Amino acid sequence: MRNLLILGIILNLLACKKSNQNGFTVDVNVKGDYTGYLYLITTKKLDSSLVINGKSKFSGSVDFPTRAGLITDTVSGYDRDFYLENTEIQMEITVTKKDFYDGPSDWIIIEKVKGTKTSKLRTEFEKYQAINSKKENWSDNLYTKLENLIIDNANNRYPGDLLAEISSDSTLSKNQLKNLYQKLNRTILDPYTIKKLERNIYPENILTIGDQIFDISGNDYKEEKLSTKDFRGKILLIDFWASWCKPCIDQFPELEIMNEKFKNKGLVILGISLDEDKKSWKKAIDKHNLSWQNIFSEEDLAGEISKKYGINSIPFNILISEKGVIIKKNVNENDLKEILIHYNESS
C-alpha cells in the first residue's frame, strides 16, 4: 500500500512537471515602489497580476515564441519587449515615470530576462551587431547572420521580427531582403510582422494615387451585403476606423460636416470597420448616430485591406473617383472642396 502511495505521488509530480512544460510562467522582480497591477500583453492582454512586496507572476501558453510587453493599470509604456516561451521565465523590471505629451506616465524598464532560448538569441545577436556593424562588408555579414538565424530557428518568431526591423533601413539590399523573406517560416509569424515586411520589401504592391481600388465587401449595419463596387458612378470617401480608436471617434463630427456640405455635390461617405468585434462596431454606430453607410470588413490592421492600401494607423481615408480610381489618401475638408469643384467643372 505504501509503495502504491509513493508511486501515486511520483506520478502526480511528473504530471505537474509535464503540465508546466506545456505553458509558461513569468516571475517578475519589480524594483521601485509600484504596487498596482501589471498586465502581460502581446497584441492583446493575456494576464494580469498584482504586485505584492515587489513580486508579480504570470502564467499561460503560446504556440510559438511570441513578442510581449508589460504595462501598468494606467497609461503606460515600456522600453523594450521580450519573448514568451513555454518555460520558466525570470524577469527584473523597474517601474518609474516618464513625461509624455499629456503628462507623466508609468514607464517600465526591462532590466533582465532569463530562462528563454529567444533571450539568448537576442542577446547574442545584439552583441554581434555591436562588434561588427562598423566593419567593412557589414551588409554581407549581416545577411549571412540572419540567414543562419532563420534556418536554425524555423519555429521562432524572433528572426522574422528582427528582419522586419532591419527592413526599415537601407543596410540590406532589396534582393537580400527578398531572399531572406522567402526563407522565413511565415506560417508562424505574427500577422503584423508579415505586414511590415511586405510593406518595406514590396512597396510596389501598395495601391497609390491613380490605381484602381481593391474592392471591399461585407455586411452593413442591417446585415445586408454591401461592396465598394456598389458606389461606382459616385465620388466615394472611404473612412477606415474602429470602435476602439479614439482619434477615429473624434473625427466623426468633421465627417458629418463634410457629409452634409458635399453630398449634393456628388460625394458619398462609406465607413469601413477594422474592428474585430461586430457588437462593439454596432454600438459605436448607434452611440454616435452615424448618418453614412458602414461595412464590417471582418479584418483588423494586419489584414489584406491594410496591406493593399498601406494603412499603418487609423483614422485613414481614401477618395475614389466615379470609375473606382484612387484620387487621394487622407483628405480633409479643403481637399474635398477643391477636388469636387474640379470634378463638377469637368463633368
pLDDT band at 32 (very low <50, low <70, confident <90, very high): confident
Q: In what order do the strands lie in the sheet with 76-78?
A: 55-60, 24-31, 88-100, 103-114, 76-78
Check residue 17 and give its pLDDT: 42
Number of CB atoms found within 10 A of residue 65's CB: 24
Residues of the chain with CATH 2.60.40: 22-114
Check residue 339 and give its pLDDT: 83
Element (DSSP H or E) covering residue 20: helix 2-21
Check residue 1 and give its pLDDT: 45
Distance (Å, whole) CA 308 – CA 327: 15
Q: Which three cell numbers stand for residue 151?
A: 534556418
Distance (Å, whole) CA 45 – CA 68: 10
Q: Which residues, 6+ apart, have CB-to-CB distance to 258 below 8 Å?
A: 237, 267, 269, 333, 336
What CATH code would you report for 217-346? Answer: 3.40.30.10
CB distance 336 to 262 below 8 Å:
yes
pLDDT band at 8 (very low <50, low <70, confident <90, very high): very low
Residues of the chain with CATH 3.40.30.10: 217-346
| pLDDT at residue 79 is higher than 60 | yes
What CATH code would you report for 22-114? Answer: 2.60.40
Q: Can you give the length of the chain in residues?
A: 347
Bridge partners of 241, per DSSP, are 273
Q: Which residues, 6+ apart, have CB-to-CB distance to 174 below 8 Å?
A: 201
% pLDDT > 90, the chain: 76
pTM value?
A: 0.79
